């Protein structure tokens, strides 16, 4: 197939693009606006491949999206483009409404028009895979059963509310207009090429320079962790084999408290950096005021995905975390420019307020 991947220069999107080029025969058209969290360097392994093409565009730009669809004629769309950082959504929700809700709506409209114009065989083959998050389901108590495909939506942050809205739009376009949509919701992803504002890379990067490792509250919030390369294979499986109009939950069956994750990272860094002046790295941990509306626990039951499509995670949390730490230690040239750019942007913002 020729697959249009929106947000393909982001963390999960770039993993999908690398997987599709390296491990399948599919072609990839990467549509990305290249906002702050996107990094073309994440695609260095595939950017010159004959089966890969890049288009810089905003999913809210209907005319541009229409032109890309007509020129490339994809067999499927994997929609990953989104604003995804909860803290940023609390500080500035407008971008999340615009990208996640308005952007998804406009992409669905263009996809529907494109699909309706396809010839019969191509029309039957076409798929629109909407990729979402477990955060749309809200927060679990310690003894609650894990999220499943029948769990009611209860979003609690601007980010999760915007993603919940986009999920409902995608399924509405299927049920109302017949667009062949399949949906997936994933747990917390981690692994190589993740923007260093998220928990695991943030802790690694700060620990390397001896900075405090800020943990919200007492660090007892629980997340289910999924290695990003496992997620990429799951998304491909769902796109190809998932039942239309259905949703599938993708998880790693690795529930961990935030403080356990940070402590494990510190132990790995102590082991892998025996000459570090910051050992033991756990002494860098500091507890900070919890963020507003911080969901206590997420957990995913991925049994439907395993039962119907035969997929299950292949990388344990211990394996994946070790691989992730090693990657960040070996690829400072990838993440250091992002840190420098972020700090420069932050300084410019502060100066603009003076």
Residues annotated as catalytic (active site), given as ranges: 134-135, 159
SS3 243: coil
CB environment 204-234: b (16+ within 10 A), e (fewer): bbbbbeeeebbbbeebebbbbbbbbbbbbbb
* CB contact at 8 A, 260 and 291: no
* CB contact at 8 A, 169 and 104: yes
Cα distances from 245 to residues 153, 170, 301, in angstroms, run 17, 9, 19
Beta carbons within 8 Å of 268's beta carbon, 6+ residues apart: 321, 322, 325
| β-bridge pairing 76-79 and 52-56 | unpaired
| β-bridge pairing 247-250 and 213-216 | unpaired
Q: Which two tokens stand for residue 191?
A: 């692994």
CA atoms of 181 and 31, how far apart (whole Å) = 19
Q: Which two tokens stand for residue 253?
A: 């069956």
CA atoms of 354 and 352, how far apart (whole Å) = 6
* CB contact at 8 A, 218 and 182: no
Q: Judge residue 291's burial from the number of C-beta atoms within 10 Å of its C-beta, 0-12 exposed, 13-18 middle, 19 or more buried.
A: middle
């Amino acid at each position: 197939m020729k697959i249009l991947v929106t947000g393909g220069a982001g963390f999960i999107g770039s993993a999908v693009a690398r997987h599709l080029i390296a491990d399948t025969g599919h072609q990839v058209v990467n549509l990305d606006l290249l906002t702050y969290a996107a990094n073309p360097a994440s695609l260095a392994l595939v950017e010159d491949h004959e089966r890969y093409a890049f288009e810089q565009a905003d999913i809210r730009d209907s005319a541009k999206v229409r032109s890309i669809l007509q020129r490339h004629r994809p067999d499927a769309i994997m929609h990953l483009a989104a604003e995804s950082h909860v803290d940023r959504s609390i500080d500035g929700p407008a971008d999340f409404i615009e990208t996640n809700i308005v952007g998804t709506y406009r992409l669905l409209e263009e996809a529907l028009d494109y699909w309706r114009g396809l010839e019969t065989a191509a029309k039957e083959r076409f798929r629109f895979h909407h990729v979402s998050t477990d955060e749309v389901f809200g927060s679990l108590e310690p003894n609650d059963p894990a999220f499943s495909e029948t769990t009611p939506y209860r979003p609690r942050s601007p980010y999760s509310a915007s993603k919940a809205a986009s999920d409902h739009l995608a399924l509405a376009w299927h049920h109302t207009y017949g667009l062949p949509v399949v949906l997936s919701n994933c747990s917390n992803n981690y692994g190589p090429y993740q923007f260093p504002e998220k928990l695991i890379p943030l802790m690694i990067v700060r620990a390397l320079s001896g900075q405090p490792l800020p943990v919200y509250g007492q660090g007892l919030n629980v997340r289910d962790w999924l290695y990003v390369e496992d997620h990429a294979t799951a998304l491909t499986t769902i796109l190809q084999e998932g039942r239309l109009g259905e949703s599938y939950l993708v998880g790693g069956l690795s529930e961990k408290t935030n403080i356990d994750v940070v402590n494990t990272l510190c132990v790995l860094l102590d082991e892998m950096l025996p000459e570090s002046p910051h050992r033991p790295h756990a002494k860098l941990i500091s507890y900070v005021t919890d963020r507003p509306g911080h969901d206590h626990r997420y957990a995913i039951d991925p049994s439907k995905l395993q039962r119907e499509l035969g997929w299950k995670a292949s990388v344990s949390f211990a394996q994946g975390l070790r691989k992730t730490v090693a990657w960040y230690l070996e690829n400072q040239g990838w993440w250091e420019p992002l840190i420098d750019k972020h700090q420069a942007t932050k300084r410019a913002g502060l100066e603009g307020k003076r």
